[in-house]
Amino acid sequence: MTPLITALIDTYNHEKYIEQAVGSVLEQGLSAEELEIVVVDDGSTDGTAEIIKKFAPRVKHVRKKNGGQASAFNAGFAETHGQIIAPLDGDDWWAKGKLAAVVEALQRNPEVCAVSHGYYKFYESTNEFEAIGPQEATLLNLTSPEAARVAFRNWPFLATGALTVRRELMERVIPIPEKLVFLADAPINVASLAGAVLVLPQVLSYYRLHSTNLFAVERADTGKVGRKYEMTDVMFSVLRPMLLRLGVSEACVSAFIDPPWTDANRFYLRNFGGSRLRTLRTEMRYIRTQYKKAAIGYRVFSCLVLGGASLVLPPRRFYELYDWYGRKNFGRLWRRIARRDTTRP
C-alpha cells in the first residue's frame, strides 16, 4: 500500500538529538501503512547512524556521503512514497497530534499545496521556549506584489519541522541545487508559497537553537555569520529563477526576492568585503526595485554614479561613502527628482 504520509528526516552528527526527533514521529500514533519514516544520514561521523539503526525496520535509514542539506533532501525524497511529505531536521522534534492536524487541514483545503503551523523556538543554552506563529489561520501566496510582501514577512512560519507539503510540489522542486549546503529548505517553502500555504495558529513543533546550528548563529561568531550570508546569496540566486519557472510573475518575484536579497548582500559587503561585481549587481538590483517610477534622469544618475563607484571602490570603502552621503542628506534633492514622476503610470 502507498502510505498517506512520509516523514522525511535529514540529519548530520545529531547523536544528541536524533532519538528525540524519530521518537516524536513515532508518537504521532499512525500505523506503518499510514506513515512512512525515512531518515537521511548525511555522512555523520558521530554515533547518529547507530541510534537510527535501533528503529529498524520501522524506520528506513538512508546513509550517504556528506554533501549538505540539499543533497540529503534529494537522496531522501527518492526513497519516499507518501502522497504528503513532512520534512523534519534531525535536531528538532514534533508535538503530539502534529500530523493529524496538518493532514486534516490538507484534506479540508484541497486548493492549498502545503500546510504549516506555529512552533516553539527552544534555546538549548537557557532551556527557554519562544512561541512563533500567527494569531489565526493565515493563507499565504504570491498572487500579487502586496501578497508577496505579506508572504515574505510571514516566511518564518514555514520552518522545516512545521511545513508539510503535497508530493506534487516536491516533485516540482527536486532536485534542489546541491550548492545549498544549508538553507536547502528554502526552495521547498518558497515553492509552497507559489501555490498557496495555509498556516495554522496551533504550536505543533519545536525548533532547537544550539551551538552547532548553521543558520541560527550568534553575531559574535563572525565566521558563521559570514558563511550564513554567503549561503543566503546562493539561496536567493536559486529562488528567483525557480519562482519564475513555477509561473510567478516578475512583479511578484521582485517584490518577494529583491529587497531582502539587496539587504543581505549589503550587510555582507559592508562587514566582510567581496567583489566589486557583487556590489554592482546589488546596487543595480536596488535601483531597479526601488525606483521603478522615478524620473529617468534620477535612474540614469544613480546607475552612473553608484555603478561607477561600485566598480572603482572596494566594497567596504564604497559603503562607507554611501553611508556618509546618506547621513549628510545629499540625496534629498535627487529623491525629490525621483518622486517627481511617481504619479505617472
Domain contains 163: yes
How confident is the model over 66-75, as a mean pLDDT? 97
The DSSP bridge partners found for residue 88 are: 9
Same domain, 30 and 117: yes
Same domain, 267 and 197: no
Same domain, 173 and 148: yes
Domain contains 344: no
Does 208 have pLDDT greater than 60? yes
* Domain ranges, residue 193: 5-209
Of 307 and 126, the structure prediction assigns the larger pLDDT to 126
What digits encode the pLDDT tens for the residues 251-265?
999 999 999 999 999
| 343 Cβ contact list (under 8 Å, min separation 6) | none
Domain end among 209, 236, 269: 209
Domain end among 177, 209, 241: 209
Domain contains 217: no
Contacts of the segment 122-130: beta carbons below 8 A, 24+ positions apart: 122/206, 122/207, 122/208, 122/209, 123/209, 124/208, 124/209, 124/210, 124/211, 125/209, 125/210, 125/211, 129/206
Domain contains 249: yes
Domain end among 163, 186, 209: 209
Same domain, 328 and 277: yes
What digits encode the pLDDT tens for the residues 136-150?
999 999 999 999 999
Nearest to 77 by CA among 40, 121, 110: 40
Residue with the three cell numbers 504549516: 116
Nearest to 30 by CA among 107, 78, 108, 101: 101
Same domain, 196 and 315: no
Does 62 have pLDDT greater than 50? yes
State the pLDDT at residue 2.
Answer: 79
Alpha-carbon distance values, 222 to 25, 181, 225 (Å)? 35, 19, 5
Domain contains 190: yes
What digits encode the pLDDT tens for the residues 1-57?
679 999 999 999 999 999 999 999 999 999 999 999 999 999 999 999 999 999 999
How confident is the model over 68-74, as a mean pLDDT? 97
Q: How confident is the model at residue 220 (pLDDT cuts 50, 70, 90)?
A: confident
Domain contains 345: no
Same domain, 195 and 169: yes
Domains identified in the chain, total number: 2
Same domain, 156 and 274: no
| % of the chain beyond a pLDDT of 90 | 79
Same domain, 18 and 154: yes
Alpha carbon of residue 63 to chain centroid: 25
Same domain, 203 and 237: no
Does 217 have pLDDT greater than 80? no
Same domain, 168 and 24: yes
User: 72-86, 266-280, 305-319, 329-343: lowest mean pLDDT where?
Assistant: 329-343
Nearest to 116 by CA among 7, 183, 198: 198
Same domain, 249 and 334: yes
- Whether the CB-CB separation of 345 and 292 falls below 8 Å is answered with no
CATH of the domain at 199: 3.90.550.10
Same domain, 40 and 124: yes
Residue 113: CA count within 13 A, CB half-sphere? 19
